[in-house]
Amino acid sequence: MKRLISALLVLIVLAVVPSTTSAQNAEYYFNKGVQYFDSGNYDKAIQYFNRAIELCPKCSGVYNSRGTAYGRLGEYQQAIKDYNKAIELSSGDKEIRASAYCNRGLLHADLSKYQQAIWDFNKSIELNPRNATAYLGRGFVYEGLGNREQSIKNFKTAARLGHKGAQHYLRERGLQW
């Protein structure tokens, strides 16, 4: 009986250890990817993010980060796929979900898909009302659409939330927030 219990314990430990090691390895590869991203080496960052995803295919934050790297390389369709995957996987994590919507909104804005961008920014703000970048992005979209009132309103909200870019933008135009 003792041998059976010992054998079961060994099997349990062996079953748990690889997943813990995989999670730790995924975190290592993710962190290396972030380092390469921060240094502007987006291709290398993607390689590390890919490895992290292999080890942790449900890690929504990695998809979000890889999407941003793809966006920086001009690979917009791949970036959108990654943001979509991050949104899909992050149902329990409002912060990552809000970030992925905001990032996808920024990409849609760059592609002049303004209504899609506004929808994404709205979702991001709904999930995280303190996301200054989403207000700033929505402000630029409204500016592009010629809606100055909504544009300024969003820039002011972003500035009040501490976004330095929004503060600079308003200050240059002699506007208070």
Asked if the model's pLDDT at residue 10 lies above 60, the reply is: no
- Using left for φ > 0, alpha for ψ between -120 and 50, and beta otherwise, residue 113 falls in beta
What is the pTM assigned to this prediction? 0.84
pLDDT at 32: 96
- Maximal C-alpha separation, the chain: 81
| Per-residue model confidence as pLDDT tens digits over 89-130 | 998 899 999 999 999 999 999 999 999 999 999 999 999 999
Q: Are 133 and 158 in contact (CB under 8 A)?
A: yes
H-run or E-run covering 162: none
Asked if residue 59 lies in contact with residue 52, where contact means CB atoms within 8 angstroms, the answer is: yes
Any idea what DSSP says for residue 119? H
Q: CA-to-CA distance for 161 and 128, rounded, in angstroms?
A: 12
Q: Please say whether the beta carbons of 45 and 69 come within 8 A.
A: yes
The tokens describing 79, both together, are 């970036």
Where do we find the tokens 């933008």? 169
Distance between CA atoms of 101 and 83, rounded to whole angstroms? Answer: 7
Tokens at 3, concatenated: 């041998």
Residue range 124-140: mean pLDDT, rounded? 97
Tell me the mean pLDDT in the region 149-156: 97
Pick the CATH number of 2-96 from 2.160.10.10, 1.25.40.10, 1.10.420.10, 3.90.245.10: 1.25.40.10
Determine whether 114 is exposed, middle or buried from the number of CB atoms within 10 Å of its CB (0-12, 13-18, 19+). middle
The predicted-structure confidence for 49-99, as pLDDT tens digits, reads as follows 999 999 999 999 999 999 999 999 999 999 999 999 999 999 889 999 999
